[in-house]
Structure 1
Amino acid sequence: MVPENAYLPSLKTLFFFRVRFSGCEFEALLSACPVLEELTLLGCPWYARQCLTISCTTLERLTLSCKGAIAYSLPWSFSFDTPRLAYLNYHGYIGDEYPIVNLHSLVEAKLSLEYRGSPNEGNPMNLIEGLRNVEVLDLSSLGTSKLLSSFAELIPLFGKLSRVSIATEFQHSCTSWKFLPLLLKKSPNLKTLVIKVYESS
């Protein structure tokens, strides 16, 4: 439980591993850290239908890994109100929706995402649109490739993107190629394309 008078004026780094927050405790804790720069959440369970809002105007680096938590114990929606965020490492399941995505300063994003159930259960369009200013994009899972393939026609213009990496399994490589031509077309300043193809285990 977060004390009502909690205030951490000098704290710049927060790390949580399998910590469960109830109600608005997480948001209250973030508001008590006025100079927070780096936040890591690994395998933290959440209550059913809970919404996760990461709102911090000073945050520069965020690592969010939902793997290790049971799928049904994950947030129903994710909001990122982080205007100074430069680095995002997001690993886990796709939320049902992303009401707020403020990632205007994002430079590098690493995504390893998959659907929690059927594709109809998630709507990642706001998240994808929020990545439009990224310069380095790492799509490090087959699930992420499937995700972008499903919404290929809605991929935004990546005006600053200079490097993109795609990882896929050999037998599913056609899944990645489906959205790749459009991604290249929407990335006028792309300089480096890395394609990693792995043998299926």
Structure 2
Amino acid sequence: MGSDIGSTLVYLKLTSSGLRDPAGFVYMPCLKFMHLEEVIWDTHLDTVISGCPVLEELTLLRDPHDKYKALLVRTQSLKRFRLLPLRKGYVRSRVKCTLEIDTPGLEYMSLGDDHIDSIVVKNLTSLLVVELDIKFVAGFAVHFDTWNLTKRSEIISDFLNGISSVRHMIIISAKTVQAFDHYSKAGMIPKFNNLSCLQAVFRSYLLQFLPAFLECCPNLKHLLLVVHSGKMDEGLKLTDVPRCVSSTLECVEIQEKLELEEGKMKATSYFLGNSAVLKKLILSPTAYDPRDVLESEIWEKVNKLKKRSPGCEIIIRAMEED
């Protein structure tokens, strides 16, 4: 890269290319946005980042043939970081890799790569939003064993504690919730005391874990719950009532194709019956299909549910027709 271009460049995107460091150092004093996809490195990532003193946003999609065993993201200026998942067709990278993030100014972090061997976070004192789409394990079809608390478990625990000050958490994959379920059995989930907004995808059979998960969010105010279709246990009993449900939760939105079976209404009944300060409960666009169920039938069923917060507004939205 020519010195004149590098000295004025603000945005850089490299895709399916090589990145060399002929002088042992890359200096781009004005670069604020860097997007790297499947770049074959001839230098370490931290060498590049250290030459970008005002870098604010970094998006990274690793090349599965990358030879380096460590990705170091250490900078004072970075505000947004995204790690994209490997492209479809790759089960995992050829080399086990550790991602280390040491960014005291980071406000937004999105992690979508299942094949990083471990993630180490440090000094995330400014973190506002974290988006997770990871299983917390490397490789394919690897399951967490609560009876075998190895070094990997300690790394995962350190990671969760490292992001525990976040205010808004987005879990866009049910596999991440499933991992939380596993790790909670070993007492590895910390309290997210600053968390006020949570968006999470649950498979129907994981709803039994919902109260335990919410127990880790004592000051939660807004919850968006996306329930993936699947068989729900008709014997499901949501009996435990964590602090946030009883005293802080103000708005709950449930995205699910609600039908008339009793089991499908239990999540709705749980929040209406236990949330003392709930102001709004929304059954959002996937709540029901007007071609199959009349809106009046849904209203009739919901209105029969016990409501602890008398001022709670219930909103039912039909699925948009194609």
Assess if the C-alpha contact under 8 Å between 1:62 and 1:87 holds in 2: yes
Structure-to-structure mapping, 1:134-173, within 5 angstroms: 134-152=166-184, 153-169=187-203, 173=204
Cα distance, 1:183 vs. partner? 2.8
Assess if the C-alpha contact under 8 Å between 2:133 and 2:173 holds in 1: yes
Assess if the C-alpha contact under 8 Å between 2:134 and 2:175 holds in 1: yes
- In 2, Cα distance between equivalents of 1:119 and 1:53: 27
Change over 3 Å in CA distance of 1:185–1:94 after alignment to 2: farther
Cα distance, 1:11 vs. partner? 0.7
Change over 3 Å in CA distance of 1:99–1:46 after alignment to 2: farther
Structure-to-structure mapping, 1:23-172, within 5 angstroms: 24-47=43-66, 50-68=69-87, 70=90, 71-73=92-94, 75-93=96-114, 95-114=116-135, 115=137, 116-117=139-140, 118-119=142-143, 123=153, 124-152=156-184, 153-169=187-203
Assess if the C-alpha contact under 8 Å between 2:93 and 2:115 holds in 1: no
> Which amino acid is the alignment partner of residue 180 of structure 2?
L
Root-mean-square deviation (Å): 2.3
Q: Percent identity?
A: 27
Unaligned 5+ segments in structure 2 are 1-19, 145-149, 231-322
Change over 3 Å in CA distance of 1:43–1:96 after alignment to 2: closer
Bigger radius of gyration: 2
Cα distance, 1:42 vs. partner? 2.3
Unaligned 5+ segments in structure 1 are none
- In 2, Cα distance between equivalents of 1:5 and 1:76: 23
Normalising by structure 2, what TM-score? 0.55
More strand by share: 1
Q: In the alignment, what sits opposite 1:189? A: 219
Q: Structure with the greater relative contact order (CA < 8 A, sep ≥ 6): 1 or 2?
A: 1
Cα distance, 1:46 vs. partner? 4.9
- In 1, Cα distance between equivalents of 2:115 and 2:159: 10
> Which amino acid is the alignment partner of residue 107 of structure 1?
L
Cα distance, 1:32 vs. partner? 0.4
SS at match of 1:92: coil
- In 1, Cα distance between equivalents of 2:143 and 2:188: 16
Normalising by structure 1, what TM-score? 0.86
SS at match of 2:40: coil
> Which amino acid is the alignment partner of residue 104 of structure 2?
P
SS at match of 1:110: strand
Cα distance, 1:111 vs. partner? 0.4
- In 2, Cα distance between equivalents of 1:74 and 1:103: 27
